[in-house]
Amino acid sequence: MSKIAVFGANGTIGSRIVREALNRGHQVTAVVRDPAKITEQHPSLTVVKGDVLEPVSVRAAATGQDVLVSAVGGGDGPGHLATIEPAARSLVTGLRELGDQAPRLIAVGGAGSLRTPDGKQVWDAPGLPDWLLQIMHAHGDALDYYRTVSDLAWTSLSPAAMIETGERTGHYRTSLEELVAADDGTSHITAEDYAVAVLDEIEQPQHLGERFACGY
């Protein structure tokens, strides 16, 4: 059993991570700006208030935990610019204050920077709307920042190009830098199976200090 704190616990992906963690018997702390947004009750679930952009909140949420998960986002568009990369810096600042007591960090990343079979990156595809490019590059900036961090155990997990709620199959494939796609080029994963990948990585760490990707 691990003690896992989750920022963004009421979000689409964060809530699936919380559910998967509880189902596997872990002790979960949901860290949310508005505790009223967590209506679920579970004997292994604690809800606390916190803002990922405040290092003091990060430090408080991370104290005594084995793993800190960040599944925060900024909605569709400009909100991501104010959230994704600043959150990465705040998470690292808050965790560093805990020194060698800092828990491991797992951050939900983006697919934009992953490589495609033509040798380009997902965000190079023609015709992508500006709002989506902003989100992709915000995640790219956050990943670039994490890659400068060598004194914390961080992992960034990039989803497939499409991640939607759906079935939990328990199956997925991984890669390091390539977009995980099917033979027909489509790339997707359900939020439920993405959460499986997060919990598998928590239980059997294989990607300390690096990004990896998952999909079908």
Ligand X SMILES: NC(=O)c1ccc[n+]([C@@H]2O[C@H](COP(=O)([O-])OP(=O)(O)OC[C@H]3O[C@@H](n4cnc5c(N)ncnc54)[C@H](OP(=O)(O)O)[C@@H]3O)[C@@H](O)[C@H]2O)c1
Binding site for ligand X (CB under 6 A): 7-8, 10-14, 32-34, 37, 51-53, 71-73, 75, 83-84, 108, 110-111, 135, 159, 161, 163
Rounded to a whole number of angstroms, the minimum distance from the CB of residue 48 to ligand X is: 11
Residue 60 Cβ, how far from ligand X at the closest point, in Å?
13
Beta carbon nearer to ligand X, 133 or 208: 133
Name which of 151 and 193 has its Cβ closer to ligand X.
193
Shortest reach from residue 161's CB to ligand X, in Å: 5
DSSP-assigned beta bridge partners for residue 157? 108, 212
Residues 8 and 31: their CA atoms lie apart, in Å, by 7
Distance CA(152)–CA(92), nearest Å, equals 8
For ligand X, the nearest residue by Cβ is 11
Q: Which is nearer to ligand X, 151 or 165 (CB)?
A: 165
The length of the chain in residues reads 216
What is the spatial distance between Cα 125 and Cα 23, in angstroms, rounded to a whole number? 38
Q: Residue 64 Cβ, how far from ligand X at the closest point, in Å?
A: 19
Distance in Å, CB of 137 to ligand X, minimum: 11
Single-letter residue type at 154: W
Q: In the complex with ligand X, which residue's Cβ is closer, 12 or 27?
A: 12
SS3 content of the chain, % helix, strand, coil (to 5): 35, 20, 45
Closer to ligand X at the Cβ: 1 or 36?
Answer: 36
CB-based contact 160:198 (threshold 8 Å)? no
Token pair 């902003």: residue:
134
